[in-house]
Structure 1
Amino acid sequence: MSQSAPTLSPHPTVWGSPDTVFDRLAGEWRLQRTIEGQATMSGVARFTLLEAGGMLRYREEGRIRLADGKEFDGHREYLFERAPGGFVVHFAETPPRLFHAIAIVRDGDVLAGSATHLCTPDTYDSSYRFLPDGSFGIRHVVHGPRKDYLSDTVFSRLG
């Protein structure tokens, strides 16, 4: 009796499938952000599982350096909610307010998703890319009469 070789996924990734990305976000990440022509930020982001289990609290903290050289500490929080094939991001307010819903699809060996959020009168076009090396990136292209910038953040696992 011969044994057949295991079947390998045509696109193996540490992220698994669109349904497993949410679970693999939990933990600590190093973040590097560039806001084109305006600022940079270096810091740490933590995704902490909340008691209910279907939500992660996201908190980032770091040092922001403006284009003019001024520096200060900053932080931001969101709530990530598990959803079939992706996740939903909420502003960390009471009650939580929807930022956007991300449906993740496979794009070669990358898992990716995008969404648009209207923050009247400005628009946020956001994209997420989960890379085979275990890192991920979030890009926000913001345009409108009050805001006009590109924010790129790269996350790499700590520990």
Structure 2
Amino acid sequence: MNAPAPSFAPSSEAFAPWGSPDAVFDRLEGAWNLDRTIEGQASMTGTAMFTRLDTGVLKYREEGRIRLADGKEFDGHREYLFERAPGGFEVFFAEQPPRLFHRIAIVRDGDALAGSATHLCTPDTYDSSYRFLGDGTFVIRHTVHGPRKDYLSATIFKRPSA
């Protein structure tokens, strides 16, 4: 009698903080600490808040302290709107009317849930990836290429300590 083949698929426990791809959107809601690096240019530490609006959309607002490579520091903020989509979410610029930044379809990727998208901001291109990790953190990376911009931005999001 042959023994069953071992399963190399990650256990459902690996995704416990996030659940299924359809559940990620709801689990974003609330407060996060953020730590961003923009290779060779700047860093930022601060907070991000996903607030549910009456429409079901999550309003994203980040605030923090930006430190440039030359040591100069200043406060900064940014806002987006996140809207549920089958298997993921769409991210819009917080302007009137809202304009689509990208749509993220989330899939299982090794020991994480992940999604990616490309946005053309003529003449530059933004390749973005999201990774939702088993420890409850998530990472957003934007690789930007073009004649005006060329950098990698990586932001780690962690829940504030209790």
Q: Return the TM-score normalized by structure 2.
A: 0.91
Instruction: Determine if the alignment matches structure 1 residue 11 to structure 2 residue 12.
Output: yes
Paired with 2:150 and 2:11, the residues of 1 have a C-alpha distance of: 39
Paired with 1:11 and 1:115, the residues of 2 have a C-alpha distance of: 25
Higher helix share: 2
Q: Is the 8 A contact 1:78 1:91 kept in 2?
A: yes
Among 8, 22, 26, the residue aligned to 1:23 = 26
Paired with 1:67 and 1:112, the residues of 2 have a C-alpha distance of: 30
Note the aligned Cα RMSD (angstroms): 0.9
Paired with 1:16 and 1:122, the residues of 2 have a C-alpha distance of: 34
Paired with 2:48 and 2:11, the residues of 1 have a C-alpha distance of: 31
CA drift of 1:52 comes to 1.3
Instruction: Determine if the alignment matches structure 1 residue 50 to structure 2 residue 53.
Output: yes
Paired with 1:31 and 1:139, the residues of 2 have a C-alpha distance of: 13
**Tell me, what secondary structure is at the counterpart of 1:20?**
helix
Please give the per-residue CA displacement for 1:97-123, whole angstroms capped at 9, x wherever unaligned. Answer: 000000000012200000000000000
Paired with 2:31 and 2:11, the residues of 1 have a C-alpha distance of: 29
CA drift of 1:156 comes to 0.0
Moved over 3 A (4+): none
Please show how residues 117-136 of structure 1 align to structure 2 within 5 Å. Answer: 117-136=119-138
**Tell me, what secondary structure is at the counterpart of 2:156?**
strand
Paired with 1:23 and 1:103, the residues of 2 have a C-alpha distance of: 15
Paired residue type of 2:102: H
Tell me what 1:3 maps to.
Answer: none
Paired with 1:22 and 1:47, the residues of 2 have a C-alpha distance of: 10
**Tell me, what secondary structure is at the counterpart of 1:106?**
strand
Structure 1 spans left out of the alignment, 5+ residues: 1-8
Instruction: Determine if the alignment matches structure 1 residue 147 to structure 2 residue 123.
Output: no
